Amino acid sequence: MWLPAIVSAVHLTCLALGTAVLLLRARSLAGPLVVEADFKRVLALDNASGIIALLWMGSGFYRAFSTLEKGSAFYTSSPLFWVKMGLLGVGWCFEMPTMLTLLRWRKELATDSLPDTKNVDRLRRLHHFELAAMVGVVFAASLMARGIGRAAPPGAPEVRTGAKIYAQHCATCHQPDGRGMNGKLAADFVGDKTRLAKPDTVLLNSIQNGVPNTAMMAFSSQLNEDERKLVLAYVRETFAGK
Ligand code: HEC
C-alpha cells in the first residue's frame, strides 16, 4: 500500500528533478569554462544527474519487473512500454558523449590540468535531444497508463468477450445478476442450480436452438459457435456456485 505509492512518487520526482538538472548542466556547459571552479560546477551537476538517473531508472524497473504493482506482464504486453524503453535507449545514446567527456574531465582535473573544451557546444546541443527523448518517455508512459495500445486486458480474454456478448444479448432477460428476475423472466442461473448442472452440450444446444415454447430464443443466426461457447463460459464462470 505504502511502498508502491512511495516508489511511484520517487519515480515522478526524479523525472522533474532530472529535467531541471539536465537544463542546468546544459547551461553550465555554455560557460564560462575558464578556471577550475567552472569545471567543478559542471561536474557537480553531472553527479546530481547521475544519482537522479539511477533513482529514476531503479524505481522504474522496480515497478515494471517486480510484483509491487501490476506485474511485468501489464507492461511488457503494451507496445507503448517498448516505445518507452526505446526512447530511454535513445536518451542514453545522447547522454553517452557527455558522460565520456566528463569522465575525461574528471581525470584531467585530478592531474591539475584544465580540460579542453572544444566539443562543449556539441554536448550542449545533445542535451536538447536528450530532453526531447525524456518528454517522449513521459508521453508514452501517460498513454500506457490509460491503457492505450494494449492488445488485451490482463486476465482471461475469453471471459471478457463472453461478458460483452452476455451484456448485449442475454442480460435483458437473464439480468446482469443472472437471476432472470427470480426465474420469472428467464432461467435463474443462480437460484436454480439444475440449470448450470446440465452439461455444456445441452446448454449450448439451448443457446443455439432456443428452448421451444419459451422466451429462450435461438441464437444460431446471431452468434457463431465460438461466441456461444464464450458466453456460456462467462455464464458458468460468473453465476455457478454463487
Ligand atoms: C428474450 C429473453 C431471453 C433472452 C434474450 C435470453 N434468454 Fe436464455 N432463457 C430465457 C428463458 C425464458 C429461459 C428458460 C427456458 C426454459 O423454461 O427452459 C432461458 C434459458 C436459458 C438457459 C438454460 C437452458 C436449459 O437448457 O436449461 C441458458 C443456458 C440460457 N438461457 C442462456 C442464454 C444466453 C447465453 C443468452 C444470450 C446469448 C440468453 N439465454 C438470452 C430467456 C431468454
Q: How many CB atoms lie within 10 A of CB 158?
A: 15
Ligand 1 mutation pick, 175, 184, 211, max ligand atoms within 8 A of CB:
211
Cβ atoms < 10 Å from Cβ of 49: 23
Tell me, rounded to whole angstroms, the distance of Cα 219 from its chain centroid: 38
- Ligand 1, closest atom to CA 194? 27
Residue of 66, 96, 230, 100 whose CA lies nearest to 164 = 230
Instruction: Using the mean position of ligand 1's atoms as its centre, give its distance from the Cα of residue 156 in Å.
Output: 24
Task: Provide the 10 A C-beta neighbour count for residue 9.
Answer: 11
Alpha carbons 170 and 167: distance in angstroms, whole number = 6
Spatial distance between the Cα atoms of 216 and 202, rounded to a whole number of angstroms = 14
* Residue in 166, 168, 169, 174 to alter for ligand 1 test, most ligand atoms within 8 A of Cβ: 174
Task: Give the Å distance between the CA of 220 and the centre of ligand 1.
Answer: 13
Q: What would the grid cell of residue 177 be?
A: 445478476
Cα 125 to Cα 121: distance, rounded to the nearest angstrom: 6
Q: Kindly report, residue by residue over 26-44, the tens digit of the pLDDT.
A: 999 987 888 888 999 999 9
pLDDT at 215 over 90: yes
Q: Is pLDDT larger for residue 75 or for residue 22?
A: 22
The reply to whether ligand 1 has any atom less than 6 angstroms from the CB of 179 is: no
Residue type, 51: I
Q: What pLDDT score does 218 carry?
A: 96
Task: Give the residue extent of every domain in the chain.
Answer: 2-145, 157-239
More confident: 157 or 233: 233
Check if 163 has its Cβ closer than 6 Å to any atom of ligand 1: no
Which of 194, 181, 196, 178 is closest to 236 using CA atoms?
196
Residue 185 CA, ligand 1 centroid: distance in Å? 9
pTM beyond cutoff 0.85:
no
Q: What is the rounded distance in angstroms from the CA atom of residue 228 to the CA atom of residue 239?
A: 16
| pLDDT over 70 (residue 239) | yes
CA dist., res. 117 & res. 38, Å (int): 12
Model pLDDT for residues 154-201, shown as the tens digit of each residue = 555 556 689 999 999 999 999 999 999 999 999 999 999 999 999 999
Residue 62's pLDDT band, with cuts at 50, 70 and 90, is: confident
Q: What does the alpha-carbon distance between residue 135 and residue 141 come to, in Å, rounded to a whole number?
A: 10
Mean pLDDT calculated for residue range 13-28: 92
Q: How far apart are CA 11 and CA 226, in angstroms?
A: 44
pLDDT score recorded for residue 24: 93
Residue 150 has pLDDT above 70, yes or no: no
**What class, spelled out in words, does domain 157-239 have in CATH?**
mainly alpha
Q: How far is CA 88 from CA 46, 169, 184, 187, in A?
A: 18, 46, 59, 55
Residue 151 has pLDDT above 60, yes or no: no
